[in-house]
Amino acid sequence: MFNTYYQKSDINALLKMFALKKTEFLSVKQLKNLQTKRFKKLLNHVLQYSKFYQWYYKKHGITIDNIENISVTDLPPINKELMMNHYDDFVCDRFLKRKNIEKFLSYSKDPREKYHNIYTVIHTSGSSGIIGLFVYGPEDWAVIKALAAIRVVKPPPHLPRRIKSAYIGATDGHYAGVSLACDVPKLWARFLPLSINSPLETIDHKSNAFYPDVLSGSTSGVHLLSQEQLKGNITIRPERIICTSEPLTYGIRDTIKKAFGREPVNLYAASESLSMAVQCKRQENLHLFTDWHIFEAVDDDLRPVAAGTPGNLLLTNLYNYTQPLIRYQMHDEVAINEPPCGCRLPFPTMRTLAGRQEEFLWFDTADGKRDYLHPSLLVELFVVGLKKFQIIQTQRNKMLMKVILDGNQEAVLAAIRQRMGEIYREKKLDTTVKLDFEIVHYIPNDPKTGKFKLIIPLKN
């Protein structure tokens, strides 16, 4: 019991913060060694305490007796469905039962409330059709709190009082963002949740009255506040602005900067790990926290892709000993670069993610290689008079752009042509990829999902 009390304490989080700071001064090789050491320890743990992992790895010939030379890539990947179907066997803490956790979530809407006063429970909304539960024990949670504090929030040191931290987003449940944001040490900070679903007037009033030093939240939430500030409805001056959950596009970034006079920081986080990467202060790239995670980019057949090439993310969370995720398939597309970015941090970088649902378009280049158009270029395409569009790859090196136009059609079309030409030229695809236009009045949604699809790549 004393142990739990200590694990939950601010002192534990503080000591972890010091350790994390020290890690930032390791060499790339030392960092890799630390990661390997932590991976081995976790593997040993799951083979002792998780019935699921014992069974699942045994099928692949891996048992606790022969893990000496096993590396992470030797292990079979897992996914959310597999985890949830075997939940009670999956977790390493026998006390945890899916049914009971779900019962807790059905009545507890306060993200500050811990399950049995010990565990932090996070649930996902289930946009993939599968509800996900993610439980963190107090020691696991202390790591994540420290990571967020020291590498993301980095509190302004000059304040002679407690920091005021506001979070805007979904706040009425055990969602990832608010669960982490609300759990700041009380000695250190005051917290204000701003529900994105409350009336704008209420949000404005609360923001002004609280006057936060740190503003975090879903990108769309922070964007909303920046628009309110530009309209003069709020006048706040946060020193740190952290955007997460949704893509931070150039347009949104600009609006936030204009409103608050500060650059927002892009944080990559999910229920599977609440702090995985944060934007480098020198550039657009995000630094991956490889001291407490292993990140792999793989293709659709789960084979590793070359460094710098986009792939699907396999995540290994090295600090969650309660519900360990090893080679867990995320639904995010990433491009991981191994060499450090040039700042002093030893962490590899990941290219900023565009719309998570949007797909990359691949083409043949003039010199016979393959290259892609990043969806962010298309997600953020802005041409006056272009109301809505859709891009369909009709052949290997041919695209059709369906456009709904406003105003002088010829002039708008010429402007789109010019902008798309620039995008292709930058990527050196202008001589090989053909682009056709079709002016339409309506673009139907995807009949399968019922949702609008901006980019439709060629099948196979």
Note the residues at the interface with Zn ion (CB under 5 A). 280, 341, 343
Minimum distance, C-beta of residue 133 to Zn ion, in the bound complex (Å): 34
Return the half-sphere exposure (C-beta side, CA atoms, 13 A cut-off) of residue 310: 20
* Cβ–Cβ < 8 Å for 135, 322: yes
Nearest to Zn ion of 72, 343 (CB atom): 343
Nearest to Zn ion of 341, 379 (CB atom): 341
Nearest to Zn ion of 219, 285 (CB atom): 285
Long-range contacts of 301-310 (CB under 8 A, 24+ apart): 302/77, 302/329, 304/73, 307/336, 307/337, 307/338, 308/335, 308/336, 308/337, 309/335, 310/334, 310/335, 310/351, 310/360, 310/372
What stretches of 131-199 adopt beta strand conformation (E)?
133-136, 163-169, 189-195
What stretches of 259-338 adopt beta strand conformation (E)?
265-270, 273-279, 286-288, 293-298, 310-317, 328-337
Nearest to Zn ion of 193, 348 (CB atom): 348
Nearest to Zn ion of 39, 268 (CB atom): 268
Minimum distance, C-beta of residue 33 to Zn ion, in the bound complex (Å): 21
Minimum distance, C-beta of residue 248 to Zn ion, in the bound complex (Å): 17
Nearest to Zn ion of 305, 343 (CB atom): 343
Minimum distance, C-beta of residue 349 to Zn ion, in the bound complex (Å): 7
Of 298, 271, 90, nearest to 180 by C-alpha is 271
Residue type, 421: G
Minimum distance, C-beta of residue 287 to Zn ion, in the bound complex (Å): 6
Q: 379: buried, middle or exposed (CB in 10 Å: 19+, 13-18, 0-12)?
A: middle
Nearest to Zn ion of 184, 280 (CB atom): 280
Minimum distance, C-beta of residue 284 to Zn ion, in the bound complex (Å): 10
| Residue that is written with structure tokens 């369906």 in the block | 402
Minimum distance, C-beta of residue 281 to Zn ion, in the bound complex (Å): 7
Nearest to Zn ion of 114, 293 (CB atom): 293
Give the span between the Cα atoms of 108 and 120, in whole angstroms: 12
* Cβ–Cβ < 8 Å for 295, 288: yes
Q: Tokens for 35?
A: 């990661």
Question: Residue 244 is inside which H or E element, if any?
Answer: strand 240-244
Minimum distance, C-beta of residue 282 to Zn ion, in the bound complex (Å): 5
Q: Are strands 434-439 and 133-136 parallel, antiparallel or unpaired?
A: unpaired
